[in-house]
Amino acid sequence: MDNLIICDRCGSDACMVDEVNQDIKTYMCFGCGFQSNSLMKEGEEFYETQLQSLPELYKDLITEDGSGKKWLPSTINVSDKGMVFANGTGIGNWMWSAVKSVPLTEEDIKKDPILSKKKEKIDYKMDMSTIKHFPERDFIEALSYIGVLPE
């Protein structure tokens, strides 16, 4: 069951909590764009595994709340809409970036050796010419820009 709560990271009232089971809850804050779960704590195997695959910027932006949960930026990728992701060079110089997706053409597929060999059909690509940047607290506006939420 999904519920909105006050975010332990930013204080926004737009944090969605989902109880996966009696031991695990996930948190997604639409106020700040950061996410966490019950296993995102120092010493937890799940957290340590996540650190291995995160880009350096995401590692730099990890924050800890009062209960010890680690929060990291979300990446939202909706194939037929677009993508929102943290973008920048470090803690003092980053924003949310949003790009819209566009349909792939047959020419795109023919030009790309990886796409031409894929078994499953890919219908969209991210159009970097549509990139738009949003301040940290404008995560919802970034989602609206790509059409995931109404404007």
pLDDT on residue 55: 95
Q: Does the pLDDT of residue 132 top 70, yes or no?
A: yes
pLDDT digits (tens, 9 = 90+) for 8-44: 999 999 999 999 999 999 999 999 999 999 999 999 9
What is the greatest pairwise CA distance in the chain? Answer: 52
Taking 50 as the threshold, does the pLDDT of residue 50 lie above it? yes
pLDDT, average across residues 108-118 = 77
pLDDT digits (tens, 9 = 90+) for 53-102: 999 999 999 999 999 999 999 999 999 999 999 999 999 999 999 999 99
SS3 content of the chain, % helix, strand, coil (to 5): 25, 40, 40
Q: Determine contact, residues 95/56, Cβ cutoff 8 Å.
A: no
Is pLDDT above 50 for 1? no
Specify the pLDDT at position 14: 93
**CB within 8 Å of 48: residues ≥ 6 apart:** none
Residue 104: DSSP 8-state: P
**pTM exceeding 0.95:** no
* Mean local confidence (pLDDT), 133-144: 95
pLDDT bucket at 119, cuts 50 / 70 / 90: low
